Structure formats: structure tokens, C-alpha cells
Structure 1
Amino acid sequence: MTSSDPQTSPSRRVLFSAQKNEGPFLLEWIAYHKIIGFTEIFIVSNDCDDGSDTLLDALDAAGEITHVKQIVPVGIPPQTHAAHLAKDSGFFRDGDWVMWLDADEFLLPAEGGTVEDIIAAAEAAQASSVSIAWRFMGDSGHAQWPGRHISTAFTGAAPMWKGKSTQVKTLFRWSDAIEALDIHRPILAPGVTADTFRALNSAGTDMEPRFFDRAKRVPFNRINVEKQPYKLGRVLHFSIRTPDMFALKRQRGDGYYANPQEVQRDDDFYAAKNFNAREETGHHQHEAAVTQEMARLLQDPNTARAAEAVAKTLAAKLGQLA
């Protein structure tokens, strides 16, 4: 067998995302997920007018990520089309560990760990996936964007749910058991059961039988655990960020729907997602490393120029909102 044989090569750790107009956040998001252990980053973009597609092109040309622009057919949600495009591209290989995160989501492995640590826990349990609970992050009292997610500027968070249903994002091994991608979890092929595909949650226990129910229109994407919901890790979800960034998000719309404006992003939505009752500081340990990695990425002149253009466009957009 050669060194490229998947049976002898280390598993790739692939981060996938579909985005539109996430330019101000991409460099940090990419840098962060590189330092916690993702080896490949595959991003599909569409209809960007903030310079993010140019930034992604520069990062692709520098060998840092893989970027594909998509043209979304009428009547199909952008994220759905991106998922089909990615699967059909042949990018994913048997044995890859794959996770779909949006640009407002940051995987935080437990106790300063890495993606490899989560994978090791799964493999020790002979599991093929780990569904990791969200933890919502609030605006921590900021009216304007402080510039970074991974910083001491953000500490406000939701309670650590115990015994309550919370949504997940799933890290899973790519194989013929996977029929399709979904933003929260893989869609399993017909006939795949708990006997052939062990699925864990972030408490380290088995997912509910509903995880394997193909009859549900929306695949089951939650966990209900009484103890240690974040034992293996959590996904910090900055769903609102700050009022100014939320206003731009409202303009962009939601990629999960064929009509991007289908979801109501109003003041009530902001208030409902603005969790600040508890403190989250786990991400602070990575701030210095992320800063250093962002600086490394910006050493590429094309990336630096594209990032500067994104910043100028952001300032102009915020000026129009004022």
C-alpha cells in the first residue's frame, strides 16, 4: 500500500460551510478552526456583495482553503444547493471526518482540546459521529461589533442546558453510510441503523433512536441529556452577534430557505437569542493563537488586499444603516 492509501493515511478533518456576505468574520473563523485541528476547509459562497468571495478566492489561491462559487437555482435554498454541490464534487473521501459549521459557529472542544480529541473519543467508542450541542452566545452588552468572536469581549452565554432539548452540529466520518449533508447532521442512507452506525452526542452517550428515523421531514437534530451535555465539546453559536451586525444579517436573509427573507429577523428574535445570563470563557484560551494565525494568513498580499476591501465595504454598509 502507498502512503496515500486511506487505510494508512491519517484521516482528514474537513470543515464545510456555505456562506453569503460573511466577509468581516471569515478570517477569524478560518484561523480559529485551523488552530483547533481542521486540516481542510471547503467553503461554498453565493451572491456576495461585501467582498467575501474575493477574500475566499485569495485564500484558495494561497492554498489555505477550497472555495467554490455557486449559482443557486430559483426555488432551492442556497445551503441545500451547496450541500449537493459539495457532495457531488468528490471532495470528501472515505474516512474523512466532516463537520458543517456556519460562520457564526465555533466548535469548542472540551478542556482546551482539539478536533482530534473528539475524534479519538468517538473512535474509542467505535462511533461514526458525534452530535455536539449548541451553546448560544449573547451580545455581552455591545451595541457595536467589537471586531472578534474569539476574545474577552464576549462572555455572555446561555445556561448549560441539562435535561432540555438543544440543537446540535455533527462531526461525522464520511462513508457510504452518508446519503447527503444537512446543516445539523448527516443524512443517513437507507438501511443504516444504530447497529451499523453508532452515533454519540456531546455527553458521550448514544443518540436517541429518532436519529435514525428517515420518515421525519426534518431529520432529528437535538440531544436531551441530564448530565454533562458538553463533556466532549460545544458549539458556540453567535446567532445575533451585536445590533449592527444583526441588522446586516437581516438584509442578507437566511440561506436555509428558498426565500432568504422567509425567517423573521426582528427585535423579538434578537431578544429571544440574546443570552447573557451565564458566562462562557472557554474560547478565550485560543485568542492569542487565533491572532497569530490571522496574521500569518494576512502575510499573503492578495489576502491582505481582499481583507482590507472587506473592511471598507463593511464601513460603508454600516454608514448606510446609521
Structure 2
Amino acid sequence: MTAAPTATAKRLIITCMKNEGPFILEWVAHHRAIGFDHMLVFTNDCDDGTVELLDGLAERGYVTRMDNPYQEMGSGYNPQKGALKYAESLDLVRNAEWVLVSDVDEFVNIHVGDGDLDSLFAATNDPDMISMQWRLFGNSFRDSYSDVLLTQEHSHCAPKYCPAPIQAWGIKTMFKTAGDYVAGAYDRIGVHRPLKRRIADMPNWVAGTGRPVPEDMADQGWRFGIRDHGYDMVTLNHYAVRSTESFLVKRDRGRVNHVERDQGLAYWMRMNFNMEQDTSIQRRLSATKKELTRLKRLKGIKSLHEAAVTAHRSKIAELMAREDMKIFYEEITSPKLTLLSRHLNFVSRAQFNDGPDAISADLIDRLEQVPVL
């Protein structure tokens, strides 16, 4: 177990990582450019340069990296929930003003003012909690991995009105701490929102629309619905699949929360939305690139990033040499699934759960007649 961190933060992101090396710098640069000042990262069994790159950033105070303690915490804890439980005990977390639990494939996309946290806080009248809902971004028809910026090259996504699958309107929640109460109005830090309310009243909690979160979510709920969905002020861009080749690495690596669930054909179909294009996050691209350039100029950081890119490419080659992964790759790049990614509004919630085999040949025949815009 690593030592407790001594860094301080005002606006903190907590995350878990396993073999995310090639994608770290863009994620850090983007979030620093919009106003987050530190990231607490729990790592687990990495072998692609993730730890080395994070430690390089940690030496300069940009992140704090810790070995994930979940295996030492007894049964009942998966990597993500164990890390969050441990994080509650850290002064770094308890002394922060704002905390967000977010993954390295999730990018906060603010639509008001200058597109930064100060603008979001001003537009929402400085609430205690802000929930931002996912907008699912697909592979943008990029099968091969290349070292590009996700926020620049991946713009194909789900439509704003997307009641299915249930993941489409999942949320992550940024919250204020409150003195001795690390989760503010709640007792525990949760994956999607704080848990176990400790106050009688509904917290001052707004959605990405800027409107109050419904009171029936006070004690439970991890997604919005038809009545409260929306992206007026802030979106959480969720690049769950990235390129098709990178998705192979993600599937092989496994999950940090629902560890027992395979990221197979059904997962690919419900997360690979290529129905519309949204480039709104690119208003911050110049600031992100400026911060990225600054990070790469730090001694050793550029070479550590390049080493992670090389390791990622090597892992892709290794997986593509396996017969099972080769077959899986051919399935997810098939004309059928590529076509479906353009028209996922025709897929029911049950079909999303069951996967591509539940889609009738008749539907595919009809979709093939739809002109590509």
C-alpha cells in the first residue's frame, strides 16, 4: 500500500485506472484547462506504463497516484467501490471543496460562459451538487488505433433524446464537501452520486439542464429519465469504446465496477453510438492543447506517454493474434453492427440487453435502405 498523499486540491477528480496509459495526458490536460486542479488516481495491476506516467505527473504535483487498496479491504469491495471507500479517509479528499468521481474515458463538457468550472458554478447559482449526464460517443468509424485526441477526432455520438439503453442518460455528480462530511449532504461517496443522505431536506442539487434534480432521487438513482434529461449547461462526454482496436484492450482488461460482466457484443452495440455529431467540446480544444503541450515539455513525460502508446499498440497486436479476439473484432466491425451504430434509435431496451442476435434481419434490411447523410 502506498503512503497517504500530502497534496492539496480545491477541485478534485477521483478515478481508477488499469492500463489507460495512452489516454491519460489528454484527460488531465482537458480537465486542468477547465478548472480542476488535481486528480486522485487508484491503479490496479497495470503493465502498460500507466503507473510510470502517473508517477511522473505526481512528482510534479499534478496528480496523486495510489495502489488500489480494495483487495486489502475484505470481501464485498470491487476495485472502484473499494477505492472510493478508502478515499473518504484521505485529507486530500476531505479538504477539497469540490469532488467528482469520473473515469478517464469521461470528459466534462461545459456549455455556458467560457466553458469552465467558474462559468458552470455561476450559471447554476453555486449549488451543492451538479449531476451531468452521459452522452455516449462511438468509435466515429475509426477501427484502427492512433495516438490522436479523442475530443478532436471522435465526434459521432448518441442523439440528445435517447431514452434507451439505460446507460445513455447515466450521471456522474460533482459535489461540495462540508467540513467533517466528506460527501457533503451525504455520508458516502458513490460511483454516480453521493449515497446515504444525512440531512432531512433535499440538497441544493441541479442537473445538467440547470434545473433542480427531482426529489425522488434524493436517496437513490444513477440516471435521468425523460422528464429530467438534458444537456443545456453541462454534459459528460463518454468515450466508452474509443477506436475498435482500443476496445479490444478494454475488453481484455476487464471492468472496475461490474467486474463480473463481459464487455462483449451487447456492450459494444449499446455504447457505440454514431448517430449524430457533436463538436461542442472543441471550443476548449485550444486550451487543452496548450496544457497538453506544457505537460509534454515536463522532463520525461513525453517519453513516458510514447512508451504507453507503444505498449498499447503491442497489446492490440497480441490480442489480434488470438483467434477469439480476431473473431470478436470481425463481429463488431461487421456491416451489420456498423449499420446499427447509425440507427440505434430503432433498437429496443430489451434488444440492447440481449445483443445483436436479437435484431431481426427484416430490420437490418430496412435500415440498409436509409440514405447515409
Superposition deviation, residue 244 in structure 1: 0.7
Pair 1:173–1:305, CA change in 2 (3 A): same
Superposition deviation, residue 179 in structure 1: 1.3
1:62 equivalent to 2:68? Answer: no
Superposition deviation, residue 192 in structure 1: 4.3
The 1-side partners of 2:177 and 2:269 are apart by 38
Provide the TM-score with structure 2 as the length reference: 0.75
Provide the TM-score with structure 1 as the length reference: 0.86
User: Are the aligned partners of 2:69 and 2:83 in contact in 1 as well (CA < 8 Å)?
Assistant: no
Pair 1:188–1:198, CA change in 2 (3 A): farther
User: Are the aligned partners of 2:208 and 2:233 in contact in 1 as well (CA < 8 Å)?
Assistant: yes
The 2-side partners of 1:249 and 1:288 are apart by 28
Superposition deviation, residue 274 in structure 1: 1.1
1:160 equivalent to 2:160? Answer: yes
Aligned to 2:218: 212
The 2-side partners of 1:240 and 1:277 are apart by 15
Q: Where in structure 2 are the equivalents of 1:126-145 lying within 5 Å?
A: 127-145=127-145
The 2-side partners of 1:29 and 1:152 are apart by 12
Match of 1:114 among 102, 113, 116: 116
User: Are the aligned partners of 2:254 and 2:262 in contact in 1 as well (CA < 8 Å)?
Assistant: no
User: Are the aligned partners of 2:115 and 2:284 in contact in 1 as well (CA < 8 Å)?
Assistant: no
Match of 2:209 among 200, 203, 219: 203
Residue 249 of structure 2 aligns with an amino acid whose one-letter code is L
Superposition deviation, residue 117 in structure 1: 1.7
More helix by share: 2
Match of 2:190 among 182, 194, 201: 182
More strand by share: 1
Helix, strand or coil: the match of 1:204? coil
Match of 1:273 among 268, 271, 274: 271
Pair 1:81–1:143, CA change in 2 (3 A): same
1:264-322 CA-partner distances (Å, limit 9, x unpaired): 21123212211111111112222332222122112222323322321221121122123
The 2-side partners of 1:183 and 1:314 are apart by 27
Pair 1:191–1:226, CA change in 2 (3 A): closer
Aligned to 1:250: 251
User: Are the aligned partners of 1:150 and 1:284 in contact in 2 as well (CA < 8 Å)?
Assistant: no
Q: Where in structure 2 are the equivalents of 1:23-172 lying within 5 Å?
A: 23-73=21-71, 75=75, 76-93=77-94, 96-111=97-112, 112-122=114-124, 124=125, 127-161=127-161, 166-172=169-175
The 2-side partners of 1:281 and 1:113 are apart by 13
The 1-side partners of 2:303 and 2:200 are apart by 47
The 2-side partners of 1:82 and 1:227 are apart by 30
1:234 equivalent to 2:232? Answer: no
Aligned to 1:4: none
The 1-side partners of 2:228 and 2:195 are apart by 27
Match of 2:199 among 184, 191, 198: 191
1:119-144 CA-partner distances (Å, limit 9, x unpaired): 2233x2x6210111110001111111
- Larger of the two Rg values belongs to structure: 2
The 2-side partners of 1:49 and 1:245 are apart by 15
Pair 1:285–1:107, CA change in 2 (3 A): same
What count of residue pairs does the alignment treat as equivalent? 300
Residue 198 of structure 1 aligns with an amino acid whose one-letter code is N
Residue 190 of structure 1 aligns with an amino acid whose one-letter code is R
In structure 2, stretches of 5+ residues that fail to align are 1-8, 321-373
Pair 1:22–1:95, CA change in 2 (3 A): closer
1:223-248 CA-partner distances (Å, limit 9, x unpaired): 23558711111000011112111110
Helix, strand or coil: the match of 1:145? coil
The 1-side partners of 2:249 and 2:35 are apart by 30
Helix, strand or coil: the match of 1:140? coil
Aligned to 1:12: 10
Superposition deviation, residue 56 in structure 1: 0.5
Higher relative contact order (CA closer than 8 Å, sequence separation 6+): 1
Pair 1:152–1:31, CA change in 2 (3 A): closer
User: Are the aligned partners of 1:146 and 1:153 in contact in 2 as well (CA < 8 Å)?
Assistant: no
Percent identity over paired residues: 26
The 1-side partners of 2:144 and 2:162 are apart by 32
The 2-side partners of 1:162 and 1:139 are apart by 18
